[in-house]
Structure 1
Amino acid sequence: MKVYEAIALGAKELESVCPNPRLESELLLSHSLRIDRVKLAIKRDEVLKEEELERFLKYIEKRKSRIPYQYIVKKQHFMGFEFYVDERVLIPRPETEILVEEALKRMKSGDLILDIGTGSGAIAISIAKLFPDCKVYAVDVSEEALEVAKYNAEKLGVAEKIIFIKSDVFSNIPQDVKFDLIVSNPPYIKKAELENLQEEVKKEPILALDGGEDGLFFYKRIIPDCKFYLKKGGRGLFEIGYGQREEVEKIFLENGFDEIEVIKDLAHIDRVIIGRYNL
């Protein structure tokens, strides 16, 4: 089978699976061949080796079973960096880049940052890469997620700048450490909505998705305890889900925060909420 024929076959197989089946077919084939996607055009009339075709068809079958593309190719791009991802961690989303960008805007030399629920390490590592003069603590309750985050930190050359701790929110963070910023993209999907998620999203770790009955469980856990770990004037920055702005803002105000800011994403949905601790 020739390259162009394989692309057409893959696209046909994925028609009912994803919105852009040809693109995903090309991406999976280029991954199978270990080449950049742009080189497929040059090789369009080349005949695939048996093992190359087998590998490609195996990837197509995985995608047909609704395994996310990122888990098949074991990578996701975030903030201009390539992160390793697999089923142990949530796949970093483009909208979470807003959280990183807003954190970077508020940082100064020597700042100490805490990333709660680090997952793949995308937030913590991006901050460490893009703002060299800082120190980052990255915590997660999942040992498996921390293994992925540590691997990414080594791969991207910032392992010495990040302290990884297995911790259920603040449980294992030294109480004498005070942070300038606490950032988090916590689970915020309502428990009742989990069954209605896309099949691909259901393949991601439930721990990284389940925000409790009202979707606010982790905001209610994290924000009240920020006062023990933030410097006065320090800020908490959190990604939020659709329709959660008012409730999370209320939690901030009830716990000594002021100067509340809300940043919208490209779809004009409230995506990041920021508060300054002032007690």
Structure 2
Amino acid sequence: MKVYEVINLGAKELQGICENPKLEAELLLAYCLGMDRINLIIKREDEVEEGELAKFLGLLNMRKSHIPYQYIVKKHYFMGLEFFVDENVLIPRPETEILVEEVLKRLKKGNTLIDIGTGSGAIAVSVVKYFPDCFVYAVDISRKALEVAKYNAKKHNVLDKIVFIESDVFSQVPKNIKFDFIVSNPPYIKRGELETLQEEVKKEPIIALDGGEDGLFFYKKIIEGAPFYLNPEGAICFEMGYDQKEEVTDLLTKGGFKNIEVIKDLSGIDRVVIARYKL
């Protein structure tokens, strides 16, 4: 079969599975052939060898079972950087780039930051990559997630700038360490809503999605522990769900935080909240 025929086959098989079947078919075939999509299109009349076709059909079946494309090809782009991702970590979302961008705007030379629930390390690695004059602690309860985060830190040559700690929020973080920023994109899906998520999202680690009965479990836990770890006038920076602005800002106010800023995402949804701790 020729390249264009294989693409058409894949696009037909992916109908109803994803938003852009032809694009994903092209990307999967390009991955199988070890080339980028542009070259694939240029070589659309080339023959696809039997072994490559068999590999493509295998990946196609994985995608048809709703395994996210990013888990199949083991990569995803975030903040212009390529990250390794697998089933042990949440696939970084574009909205989280806003959290990183807002943190980068506020960082000063020598600042120390802790990324709680680091997952793939997307936040921690991006911050250090774009602002080398800071130091980051990356925390996750999942040892496998930390292995992925370390791999990505090494991939981007920032391994020496990040300390990785296996910890349930602050439980294993030494109390003699103080931070200028506590940053987190915590699990914030209400437990009762997990079954309503898209099939692809259900393939992601439940531990990275489940925010407890009210979706606020980790916000409460982080806010409660923050005063013991923040430097004077240190800040918390959270990503939050589309309908959580009032609840999260209320938790911050009751937790002793002030100067609360809310930043919208590109869709106009309240997505990031930043607050300073009262002295």
TM-score calculated relative to the size of structure 2: 0.99
Query: Residues of 1 paired with 2:153 and 2:127: CA distance?
Result: 11
Q: CA deviation at 1:192?
A: 0.5
User: Partner residue of 1:202?
Assistant: 202
User: Partner residue of 1:272?
Assistant: 272
**Cα displacement string for residues 135-173 of structure 1 (whole angstroms, at most 9, x for unaligned residues):** 000000000000000010001100000000000000011
Q: CA deviation at 1:40?
A: 1.2
Query: Residues of 2 paired with 1:255 and 1:197: CA distance?
Result: 31
Q: Which runs of 4+ in 1 moved over 2 A?
A: none
**Cα displacement string for residues 6-28 of structure 1 (whole angstroms, at most 9, x for unaligned residues):** 00000000011011000000000
Q: 3-state DSSP class of the match of 2:232?
A: strand
Structure 1 unaligned spans of 5+: none
**Cα displacement string for residues 76-118 of structure 1 (whole angstroms, at most 9, x for unaligned residues):** 0000000000000000001000000000011000000000000
Q: 3-state DSSP class of the match of 1:181?
A: strand
Query: Residues of 1 paired with 2:66 and 2:140: CA distance?
Result: 26
In the alignment of these two chains, the number of paired residues is 279
User: Partner residue of 2:79?
Assistant: 79
Q: CA deviation at 1:236?
A: 0.2
Identity of aligned residues (%): 66
Q: State the one-letter code of the partner of 2:11.
A: A
Q: State the one-letter code of the partner of 1:33.
A: L
Q: State the one-letter code of the partner of 1:127.
A: V
**Cα displacement string for residues 181-205 of structure 1 (whole angstroms, at most 9, x for unaligned residues):** 0100000000000000000000000
Q: CA deviation at 1:274?
A: 0.6
After TM superposition, the structure 1 = structure 2 runs for residues 9-48 of structure 1, keeping only pairs within 5 Å, are: 9-48=9-48
Query: Residues of 1 paired with 2:71 and 2:56: CA distance?
Result: 15
Q: CA deviation at 1:54?
A: 0.7
Query: Residues of 2 paired with 1:83 and 1:73: CA distance?
Result: 11
Q: 3-state DSSP class of the match of 1:151?
A: helix
**Cα displacement string for residues 210-268 of structure 1 (whole angstroms, at most 9, x for unaligned residues):** 00001000001001210000011110000000211111111111111100000001111
User: Partner residue of 1:247?
Assistant: 247
TM-score calculated relative to the size of structure 1: 0.99
Q: CA deviation at 1:177?
A: 0.6
Q: CA deviation at 1:43?
A: 1.0
Query: Residues of 1 paired with 2:242 and 2:82: CA distance?
Result: 27
Q: State the one-letter code of the partner of 1:49.
A: E
- The yes-or-no answer on 1:187 pairing with 2:187 is yes
